Amino acid sequence: MSEIPTRAVRELTIRVLRCNPAEPEQTPEWQDFRLEEAEAMTLFVALSLLREEQDASLSFDFVCRAGICGSCGMLINGRPGLACRTLTRDLPDTITLAPLPGFELIADLSVNTGKWMRGMSERLETWVHDAGLADHNLAQVEAPMDPALAREIYELERCIECGCCIAACGTAQMRENFVGAVGLNQVARFRLDPRDTREDADYYELVGDEDGVFGCMTLLGCEDLCPKDLPLAAQIAFLRRKMARA
């Protein structure tokens, strides 16, 4: 029935880009680790084993290890992805791991996506804007919302701010201030939300420039590598049309 398929044991070479900015005398370099593959091994399991058994100083970030929190984005064989839910059996014998580009490096595979995302949120004001919020009557029955609309908003709300779309975006790699798919998706999400009282003119002020939606060159790396399969291309195209007319 639901048996996990078996396979002969492989020896994996895990090649990690090591760099610890706190030790400036060390230069970034690739380091190879060898590891025996186990059944249903994820990169979370593999990296944890490396740290436990081979190199205690290896830095990386895992939190939920279930593909939900977005902490463990890294370049896996050159492409961004969530390490916790990447099974080694889907990868070749040699696996290269590098930190997500486009973010401040903390050490090895650990990058400061949190700081970037907070900056993005502050800049795009990614919250429901409604003057009445502070003295909202909580005892009252909530305002109704169309069920289909709620589903649509959730579809965009599923973003976990892992940073994969930024690492997958040629524009973001060239231009530091580009808000990227993660930011544009947030704007699309709030624009869709009737509880947010902002209008297109307000959104235009946030993303109506080269660092916003008009900076996107439609390379579609975000669309293809988003771990949550968010409809990013559709959202950006939609936003571009709206903003061009705003």
Task: Report the site for other proteins in 82-121 (rule: CB under 8 A).
Answer: 85, 87, 101, 106-107, 110, 112-115, 117-118, 121
Considering the complex, what minimum distance in angstroms separates the CB of residue 20 from other proteins?
5
Considering the complex, what minimum distance in angstroms separates the CB of residue 65 from other proteins?
6
**Amino acid (one-letter) located at 56:** A
Strand residue runs (E) in the chain: 11-18, 29-36, 73-76, 79-82, 94-98, 105-107, 110-111
* 70 counts as binding other proteins under rule CB under 8 A: yes
Q: Which of 32, 36, 93, 195 binds other proteins (CB under 8 A)?
A: 195
> In Å, how far from its chain's centre is CA 109?
14
User: Phi and psi for 54 in degrees, rounded to 5?
Assistant: -120, -45
Stretch that binds other proteins, among 9-17, 29-37, 177-185, 205-213 (CB under 8 A): 205-213
User: Phi and psi for 16 in degrees, rounded to 5?
Assistant: -110, 135
Q: Which is nearer to other proteins, 34 or 115 (CB)?
A: 115
Q: What is the DSSP pairing of strand 110-111 with strand 79-82?
A: unpaired
Residue 240: name the closest of 188, 166, 173 by CA.
188
Which parts of 130-189 interact with other proteins (CB under 8 A)?
Answer: 130, 133-134, 136, 138-147, 150-151, 153-155, 157-158, 160-161, 168, 170, 173-175
Q: What is the DSSP pairing of strand 94-98 with strand 11-18?
A: parallel
Considering the complex, what minimum distance in angstroms separates the CB of residue 141 from other proteins?
5
Which parts of 224-243 interact with other proteins (CB under 8 A)?
Answer: 224-225, 231, 233-235, 237-238, 240-241, 243
Q: What share of the chain is helix, strand, coil (3-state, %, to 5)?
A: 40, 15, 45
Considering the complex, what minimum distance in angstroms separates the CB of residue 169 from other proteins?
8
Considering the complex, what minimum distance in angstroms separates the CB of residue 234 from other proteins?
5
Which parts of 2-31 interact with other proteins (CB under 8 A)?
Answer: 2-6, 20-23
* 196 counts as binding other proteins under rule CB under 8 A: yes
Name every residue whose Cβ is closer than 8 Å to that of residue 208 and which is 6 or more positions away in sequence. 214, 243, 246
Q: Where does residue 240 rank: exposed (0-12), middle (13-18), buried (19+ CB within 10 A)?
A: middle
* 69 counts as binding other proteins under rule CB under 8 A: yes
* 63 counts as binding other proteins under rule CB under 8 A: yes
Considering the complex, what minimum distance in angstroms separates the CB of residue 156 from other proteins?
9
Considering the complex, what minimum distance in angstroms separates the CB of residue 133 from other proteins?
6
Interatomic CA distance for residues 98 and 78, integer angstroms: 8
State the number of binding residues for other proteins (CB under 8 A). Answer: 113
